[in-house]
Structure 1
């Protein structure tokens, strides 16, 4: 029997295979190791959803069967209650918990049972926690459900590399489940028991877990049940705190007191696992529970500190800090006063151990090699009174951090020589800090290979050699931007190192992922500087934009997203090929941003082919994205759409969520090129939103998506929706990239258009003015985009009848376009159009003829006589002739405008102008009125009330003479 594919495995898990085939699959899985791994592991994902499987938010695949199929798809019905719930038993392999498919049970605690499960919609393995079906404690099922829900809410509240992520929470009948990140590994308790480990390794592991606990405290959470069973260690070395079922939000207010534990309550044979959940009493695990928690008092973060120190004591010394067989009478954890400073029996037979008088805990075994500073920190954390412990977990962790042997010797020597010297202590602290700082140096040296004085000179020479009048100004601006970006790169690289090597917040594996991402950013910088060094006059205008669009450095700090992507192959040859292809893709992006589409296309296709041959899907998805994006931006939307769709599905298959999001957003742009497919373009945005949700959000990518949505809504005439989307885009981009970023200026320009279409002309002028300011600072006052913004502001001011300022804006736009594009460029023709529009609207009709005539001639020569842009100039010139009483000259121009243009407003102006021109020539009333009615219908369709009223009044006036003529004819007949 051949290996199973992922789709058939999913059918098998769901019980959707025929009995005979299911039996064959089950037998095969029992003997085939690769297929068994496919079933259990998350290294493969389902990339195709069989037609008979239910649709979902992420894989409903609105485009899999075309847009008609998407429109006709019925909404999913309420899910039926699973059979295992009806039968009151635990779920078995292949049964569903929500949308998830159970694989196997992996653990059970005091509150719930944990299963590994498969998420067929998002193609990943998850951990599912269910409220235990056999739970009959006095607290009751309802309270247990509430706790499990609180666990999900608490964990979802914390975003930290050392806290396990929560994906989903749901209810099943009377039960509750939580879907969490699946960690392929073991618990901290099992890890400790596996084999003897050096104290440094144990301490470093606990410090990482403590960072997660501190992260929870920063979010206002108290765990209340920290223990080694609630810390997971992945095979990749990641350490995460979980099981926040007893956590409490600080914002919930003061917790009501609980009763102390009943007298005589004892720890069982496995004290580290005993968890008390008696109604109304203190909750937690006895062996780790802080004294105040046992007494029923409301615990705070210092109670977690106590539990942490109990666990660390046990892990380092192999014994418990307190009597194993203690009862609730020992709620203060302190021996009687007669025992202070004396010895009492430990849990080890025949062993007498001294007691630490400050904490009441046993002194750690004397033979242990654990340093004194660690012992003292732990014993302080075990103080019976919270006020005597450390002020926070961070303070405790700073004391526990491992000091290199040399630093300890320096400290000892300094203490001996400068025992009472405050200055001596300050000197030692300075020296220790200096040594620590040296741990994460070297980023500057790595940067020098890409951005150095020689490269700066090459960039400057390349731009100046173009002979462009703007080259000097642009060069200064570009070098300043590259300096800022590379300075940020050094800071990001240093911070990534510190998070692992100094603060212990992340593993070496996560540091490796961040370093790979940052090295890719250096390739992006090199690609941009190479292009600038070989600049031409056209590139001078795009130089600042090309640098502005360098990928964000923030993405390299998103360790959650980075760690979810399918890992690269281990082969050195494969890694080398990935490096080579990544460099090519950096070039493709830079060339696309610079407008060199032909060169970008020449590199993009081989990069896609090489990535596909390599078989590393995240890279293949990225290559397809850059190819598709380049095609969409260069005027090949059909090819762009095809490659962006391939990128989307390949990114989904490899869990490359950032590329999946950008591909879906790009499809909103590419599909929206076709005015007949704008609704379909909007549906792609739902896929982008799903990918963003799976990532946990990304403001930069959200800003990109909402900008595309805003433009699409504007083209649909849905101005309110457009403005709402653009406002969201503006907020996210400003927060992620800053207030002066080029993308924010672009969004403000789009908002100006949407406000104008909505009739909010003052708002339009306001946001376009802000966009002009940003663009002039970034790109210079003569950039063609600045010319476009003046063009847009002139149009809005015309509608406000602010003709003086509108004329100034229009002429400034024309001046910029002539300087940047030349006198015969079609965009210069657009600028002439807006000058003519100002004259037309201000009733200076003879002056309007000249700019419209120039615009028409420029566009006919550059674009051909049948281009839609020609129609707009023909319309303006035709209306200018109408207003001057030159109906014969106007009629062919207006008829041409109707033939070439499709915008309702343009069509309305053309129909009404033609009606007036024909009326002036004495054409028949019904024919003229029919044209006017078409104009009225066009303006009413886009809710242009003022224009519609003007045309309606005109129609009424022209109907009256016809009626009067008919009356005179009837009178004449009677007289005869």
Structure 2
């Protein structure tokens, strides 16, 4: 057999008989290639490259593998032939159930990507979930009851999602629930735990109970300790069987031991299971578990959703009275909306529009806001107030008119039902909360709000859309519970923070308010809060893992609340985060497909948002021209929907221009930015932040065109405008300083560039999390500046910080971990601390083994480093072995990378010194030193 084909797919059907270890074979080939230069093909299952074994059991072996086509890591279950005892029947059944599960997409279910068979073999490709099983999660440390219930509710959501599409797990247990590194639970092995999945269906003559049941149990699907009574009897299983197994697992987690097995209870004719006594377990939970563990399926909870409702509702009812004070505290200045949140009475709802806004929008309030705007001392404050007042006047009129029309249509003309009247009135009340929250915020004389006043007013929900929204809600049988007013005020306040780029404030407000929102029981409001939290974490703070956790929770709560209007947004935001923060376009496309399937059918804004995110995916796929086409389409949709000058249009035009720049159509990008800048200056003035943001992009365009002086002019003016509005410690100001630092470096002013970028880092430190992508990029640039300036201790400190950031989140792609490891080791040696560099060079060598560098010469870096370490430790024999390998690599490719000639010279001399230290081969020592001098002289002559 051809050795390169030995472990590819055609041989896998013999895996069970031959007991081949694919992980061991893969490791052997990698080490062989690294140490001896031999060439071996990777170990393959289809198109998937085997990396390691994740686990094995009676059904087969699960491997971690790399999908060469989609560039992602996956888990592959290779089914053992001897587990398919009925041959074609078992194979067909297994394929059918696996493909059914592949259609199931839910945050709490392991996603099956594909199911394949070839030459008699069968394998299943699944989502790879780094983390632990639920059992391991429980065993690692003591867990509070609240934490346990939170994990199990997620598991129950996954089971419920499967039940809704007709899938029964049949083997739920602690080992089949995975807790990912994002703390999200995913259910694995739906219907796939054993080959005899439907034996009861294919063998109807099997006895239903009796003495023979005990002996035969192990032959049928399930794990005895978790089996439901009907499974033990060999009867058909349904969703209530999974509920029983779930309750066994939850009882085991709560009481630290499982209840008596069903087989034992059946033999003893036991009724209610004897659960252990434990004062820490509340009675409501004990009763819920006892019902779920009933021997008769008809006596259990009607469904998993019903059990989830019990697990969520019982503690909430006990504490709801204690929450109001917490919510009020979270509101801050938003508590001033109290009077504005009172509902309308039937007698006053048909009052004329001007009477409806009395006390909400009048001259007294206008005067207070005018004084607040003026108090900011911004040069454009007066103009900003003039435009803001016009916008607020118009909004007040539209809101009042919508309320009047709603009443007339119901009470006077009889055109709509009381139900429609109530739904529309509730919508208008929510809009009033958003409006009055914004008015109270304007009164605080906040410069950020004054700068973005027009955008915030334009972002207010349109009251004229309330009747249409009410009609859709009535058709869908909308939520019976009205949103909580205090919750709405918190959400509106958070939207103001996100609208003014105040990410930390938004995240702090929502994070502090969420416990109270949960206890109040406004599930829809909780879903909105989590979505807003994720947008603040991801878009404003660059916190990808935090955003993903919040989005999965948001999806769960949106589904529980029946908020289909939110689910597409959650999927779309997950796609955005995957593409922009994690650089995972394949994963992003999966989320986007869900968003597209769930999007509202009559929303141009939603269509444009989906196109915008798809353009980000295309950027991650290195297809900038295609991204430009989608951004142009999104802009066209918005132009047909929003009036000219709307902030959403401005943002879409900026995004399109930026895309043109990324596609290297710099002249077009510059023309787009110039046109937009002229419009904004004419409407808002040259010193308005909106115009300054366009100036920043224009400066980047001309910088790329090589027109450095023009770029500096734009950037310096934009910096002055933004600093005057937001102060020096602001992310936008920091980003400008980084670009100006690049211009300084182009002008050979290293000291000025270094000081500028140090200031940018200080600005980021004050405003964004430590691991924010822009801050990480700034650290890398500052590290290079310190290298150029010979400031090795400072560069070493930054390299250490970059490595810490990467290690805290290894999935991120904005840290060149190989370069950082090489820098740390090199700096330590240059500072006379070479022995400390050993773990860094060791790690770099292991990394190169897994991911060979594109430039082969870079393989010499860790080898030379190991040689220096051993030389410094007084072990020249070991040093010689590594330095010989490094020199051989460098001499084969001496000019592949800038600086390699210098490294070659240094390695020659270091090898000569090591040989001399052991008094070996003096002729070789002389030859190495002579060659080093010759290479150095040639390099010097070339430099002249």
User: Which bracket does the TM-score occupy, shorter chain normalised?
Assistant: 0.3 to 0.5
- When normalised by structure 2's length, the TM-score is 0.45
Larger radius of gyration, structure 1 or 2? 1
- When normalised by structure 1's length, the TM-score is 0.44
Bigger share in helix: 2
